[in-house]
Amino acid sequence: MIRKALFWPVLCMPALLLGQAPGGVSSGLAVWYKANITSSVIGYPGAVSAWNTSGGSATGFNLAQATAARRPGYLAGNVNYKQYNYNPRVHFMSANSTSLENTGTSPNLYGTAGSIFLVTNQKPLATDGSGLTYSSSSSQRIQIKPSFRIQTSTGTLGYTADFPSPTEYGNTEASLLYVSGLGASAAQRLNSVPIACNNCGLALYNPYVSTGLYTGRNGTGGEYVDCDMGEVIFYSAALTTAQLNQVESYLAIKYGITRGGNTGTSTTYNYVNSAGAAVWNKTTNAGYNNDIAGIGRDDASGLVQKQSISVNNNEPVSIGLISIDASNAANANNFATDKSFLLWGNDGGANTTVYNDPICFASLPAGVQARIKRRWKCQVTAFTQQATVGFESAMLANYLPLSNLRLLVDDDGGYWTNATVYAGAVMDGSRIEFAGVTFSAAKPFFTLATANYVSTPLPVELLRFDASACGSSVCLAWSTASERDNDRFEVERSADALDFPPIGSVPGAGNSTMYRNYGYIDRSPLQGTGYYRLRQVDANGDFTFSEVRPVTFYHNDPPVLFPNPVHDELRILGYDAVRQGPVELYNMLGERVPLEGPASGVFGIGHLPSGLYTAVIDGRMVRFVKE
User: Are 117 and 23 contacting, i.e. CB atoms less than 8 angstroms apart?
Assistant: no
> Could you give the 3-state DSSP secondary structure of residue 343?
strand
Could you give the CA distance from residue 328 to residue 63 in angstroms, rounded to a whole number?
Answer: 25
pLDDT higher than threshold 70 for residue 295: yes
First to last CA, the chain: 75
Neighbouring-strand partners of residue 304: 297
Least confident of 106-110, 280-284, 287-291, 395-399: 395-399
Q: Does residue 583 lie within any of the structural domains?
A: yes
Cα–chain-centroid distance for residue 28?
26
Question: Tell me, what CATH number does 112's domain have?
Answer: 2.60.120.200
Please indicate, yes or no, whether residues 568 and 539 belong to a single structural domain of this protein. Answer: no
> Which range of residues forms the domain containing residue 227?
27-241
Please indicate, yes or no, whether residues 428 and 511 belong to a single structural domain of this protein. Answer: no
Name residue 31's amino acid: V
Please indicate, yes or no, whether residues 103 and 70 belong to a single structural domain of this protein. Answer: yes
Confidence of residue 2 (pLDDT cuts 50, 70, 90): very low
* Single residue among 490, 519, 553 that ends a domain in this structure: 553
Please indicate, yes or no, whether residues 70 and 129 belong to a single structural domain of this protein. Answer: yes
pLDDT higher than threshold 80 for residue 378: yes
What number is the average pLDDT over the span 91-108?
A: 94
Question: Tell me, what CATH number does 528's domain have?
Answer: 2.60.40.10
Average pLDDT, the chain: 87
Proportion of the chain above pLDDT 90, given as a percent: 56
Q: Does residue 5 lie within any of the structural domains?
A: no
pLDDT higher than threshold 60 for residue 453: yes
User: Are 305 and 296 contacting, i.e. CB atoms less than 8 angstroms apart?
Assistant: yes
Please indicate, yes or no, whether residues 108 and 172 belong to a single structural domain of this protein. Answer: yes
Q: Does residue 253 lie within any of the structural domains?
A: no
Q: What is the pLDDT of residue 177?
A: 96
Could you give the CA distance from residue 60 to residue 395 in angstroms, rounded to a whole number?
Answer: 45
* Single residue among 391, 425, 450 that ends a domain in this structure: 450
> Could you give the 3-state DSSP secondary structure of residue 151?
strand
pLDDT higher than threshold 50 for residue 12: no
| Phi, psi for 300 (deg, rounded to 5) | -65, -25
Listed residue (150, 132, 163) closest to 205, CA to CA:
150
pLDDT higher than threshold 80 for residue 459: no
Please indicate, yes or no, whether residues 499 and 622 belong to a single structural domain of this protein. Answer: no
Q: Does residue 468 lie within any of the structural domains?
A: yes
* Single residue among 553, 578, 597 that ends a domain in this structure: 553
Please indicate, yes or no, whether residues 86 and 187 belong to a single structural domain of this protein. Answer: yes
Tell me the per-residue pLDDT of 121-170, one tens digit each, with 9 for 90 and over.
987 765 678 999 999 988 899 999 998 999 999 888 999 999 887 778 87
Could you give the CA distance from residue 358 to residue 245 in angstroms, rounded to a whole number?
Answer: 41
Number of domains in the chain: 4
- State if pTM tops 0.85: no
pLDDT higher than threshold 80 for residue 397: no
Give 396 or 380, the one with higher predicted confidence: 380
Please indicate, yes or no, whether residues 345 and 488 belong to a single structural domain of this protein. Answer: no
Half-sphere exposure of 289 (CA within 13 A, CB side): 21
Please indicate, yes or no, whether residues 42 and 114 belong to a single structural domain of this protein. Answer: yes
What number is the average pLDDT over the span 531-543?
A: 85
Tell me the per-residue pLDDT of 472-485, one tens digit each, with 9 for 90 and over.
678 898 888 677 77
Q: Does residue 7 lie within any of the structural domains?
A: no
Q: Does residue 139 lie within any of the structural domains?
A: yes
Please indicate, yes or no, whether residues 327 and 295 belong to a single structural domain of this protein. Answer: yes
Question: Tell me, what CATH number does 569's domain have?
Answer: 2.60.40
| Phi, psi for 391 (deg, rounded to 5) | -120, 130
Burial 260-272 (b: 16+ CB within 10 A, else e): bbbeebeeebbbb
- Cα angle: 547, vertex 145, 624; to 5 degrees: 120
Q: Does residue 97 lie within any of the structural domains?
A: yes
User: Are 411 and 443 contacting, i.e. CB atoms less than 8 angstroms apart?
Assistant: yes
Please indicate, yes or no, whether residues 326 and 427 belong to a single structural domain of this protein. Answer: yes
Q: Does residue 493 lie within any of the structural domains?
A: yes
Residues 6+ apart with CB under 8 A from 203: 156, 157, 158, 586, 590, 591, 592
Please indicate, yes or no, whether residues 282 and 193 belong to a single structural domain of this protein. Answer: no
Tell me the per-residue pLDDT of 322-355, one tens digit each, with 9 for 90 and over.
999 999 999 999 999 999 999 999 998 877 655 5
